[in-house]
Amino acid sequence: MANILPRSLRAVGSGLRTGWLILGILLLLIVVGEVGLRLALTAKDRLVRQSRTEHRIDQPAQVSAYHEEELDATKRYVWQPYVYWRHPPYQGRHVEVDRNGLRATWNPPSRDTAAAPTPVRVFAFGASTLWGSGARDDYTIASHLSKLLHERGYRAEVTNYGQLGYVSTQSAIVLLRCLHRGEIPDIALFYDGVNDLIASHTHDAAGVSVNEWLRRAEFDLPNRPHRLLRYSGRQFPAKGLWGFGRLAAGLRRRLRSAPDDRSRTQPLSDELARRTLHVYTANLAFIESLGQPYGFEPLFYWQPNIFSKRRRSPREQVAAERLLLSEKVYEDMYRRVRRSAALNGQPRFHDISGLFDDVEEPYYVDMWHLSESGNQLVAAAMVDDVIALIERRRSAVE
């Protein structure tokens, strides 16, 4: 009996040592496997980026580092009241985002002489295409517009308020927040369309933001411990074990059955399409109602999409096939816009969705975004309207 306790303690100790040894080996294997997967997947991503860069449309060689690496670096967001998110400050070789989360824009050098006219303040609002995904700071739509105005002899200062993923309601709120701070433009320019359609189709509801379901899932998590634990449990493998998470996601895609394309190809219902256009039209009316009391002139542009380009290059065709929604979905909504009496009776509204319809040159760098020369064509489609408003304001002052 006297030896039972020591033997039992030795057995327990041996079991604990064995258990810790197995656990240590398992953790070591996980760490080694994660490091190996990260190295392999990072190398693969670089090869994919290099391949994309070699076939990139109308982009100078020095943009390659920007388009993949700097663009990825800017896809980190900070909280912004009312509109959910905005870019954090960033300083790269081709991309600069200031402390307010705004993309750098080319503007002519300031003149310190008292005789120099006060520049016309143009605020540009929109989503990632306006922000300039796929372009350097000096070659976004906003920068090209500033250059064109300068070339035509107009002194202007263009500010790019575009943010990735914004819908027209968020753009309207951004303008309202500017007015709250006393930042009042002379001309407020809006470039929207695609994201309003995507958000409505994804959520089967009009007037919501892109990925609204994420905001709902994240709401009030600290006061809902069970949801917080479930959410953390889903997030840790994706972020803490990034390599294994990528591997598991790839395996799931290979093993799952072919997806049902009906939701992807089915246009918005008639009611949802009408509500989507109503929200967009209401945003225009709201913005215009602010113009007179605050002294600014609004301009609205319905943006092109890759499906409206009838002569797509092989690479553009591949990009079109990767879109979340099919050509049929876009065609239906864009046809409604063209037929909308409320929109086409609005003199400040311009449908430029046909801008690339008949051109052969490839202007899309991916599924949504334009090359630098594509941005220039969009700016060229806007500049005469901007000049007309500048002249109108001058005449009113005189």
- Each residue of 31-73: pLDDT tens digit? 777 677 677 766 766 665 555 555 454 454 445 445 566 777 6
Closest by CA to 193, choosing from 284, 326, 261, is: 284
Cα–Cα distance for residue pair 145/122, rounded to 1 Å:
10
Say which CATH number the domain at 183 has. Answer: 3.40.50.1110
Task: Give per-residue pLDDT as tens, 260-315.
Answer: 555 567 889 999 999 999 999 999 999 999 999 999 999 999 999 999 888 888 88
What pLDDT score does 44 carry? 65
How many of the other CB atoms lie within 10 Å of CB of 311?
12
Cα–Cα distance for residue pair 231/214, rounded to 1 Å:
11
Q: How many domains is the chain partitioned into structurally?
A: 2
Clarify whether residues 33 and 167 are in a common domain: no
Clarify whether residues 45 and 136 are in a common domain: no
What pLDDT score does 339 carry? 94
Q: State which residues form the domain around 36.
A: 1-54
Task: Tell me the C-alpha to C-alpha distance, in Å, between residue 153 and each of 27, 147, 150, 171, 387.
Answer: 67, 10, 5, 29, 10
- One DSSP character per residue, 174-232 reads HHHHHHHTT---SEEEEEESHHHHHHHHHHTSSS--TTHHHHHHHTTGGG-HHHHHHHH
Clarify whether residues 302 and 161 are in a common domain: yes
In a domain, 337, yes or no: yes
Clarify whether residues 245 and 309 are in a common domain: yes
Closest by CA to 286, choosing from 346, 211, 344, 334, is: 346
What pLDDT score does 35 carry? 75
Cα–Cα distance for residue pair 275/268, rounded to 1 Å:
10
In a domain, 95, yes or no: yes
What pLDDT score does 42 carry? 66
Clarify whether residues 19 and 122 are in a common domain: no
Cα–Cα distance for residue pair 299/248, rounded to 1 Å:
47
In a domain, 193, yes or no: yes
Contact predicate 377/316, CB 8 Å: no
Contact predicate 338/330, CB 8 Å: no
Where does 306-371 have alpha helices with state H? 314-321, 327-339, 341-344
What pLDDT score does 43 carry? 72
What pLDDT score does 310 carry? 85
Q: What are the residues whose beta carbons fall under 8 Å from the beta carbon of 112, sequence distance 6 or more? A: none
Clarify whether residues 189 and 314 are in a common domain: yes
Clarify whether residues 20 and 89 are in a common domain: no
Cα–Cα distance for residue pair 14/194, rounded to 1 Å:
65
SS3 122: strand
What pLDDT score does 230 carry? 63
Clarify whether residues 44 and 138 are in a common domain: no
In a domain, 59, yes or no: no
What pLDDT score does 261 carry? 53
Clarify whether residues 116 and 206 are in a common domain: yes
pLDDT-flagged residues of the chain (< 70):
1-3, 5, 7-12, 34, 37, 41-42, 44-69, 73, 111-116, 226-264, 398
Label the pairing between strands 96-97 and 120-126.
unpaired
Cα–Cα distance for residue pair 321/325, rounded to 1 Å:
9
Q: What 8-state DSSP symbol labels residue 279?
A: H
In a domain, 309, yes or no: yes
Label the pairing between strands 84-86 and 78-80.
antiparallel
Clarify whether residues 29 and 81 are in a common domain: no
Clarify whether residues 20 and 102 are in a common domain: no
Domain end residue (candidates: 36, 54, 72):
54
Cα–Cα distance for residue pair 83/162, rounded to 1 Å:
12
Clarify whether residues 180 and 291 are in a common domain: yes
Contacts made by residues 176-181, CB under 8 angstroms, sequence distance 24+: 176/290, 177/81, 177/82, 177/83, 178/123, 179/290, 179/294
What pLDDT score does 243 carry? 60
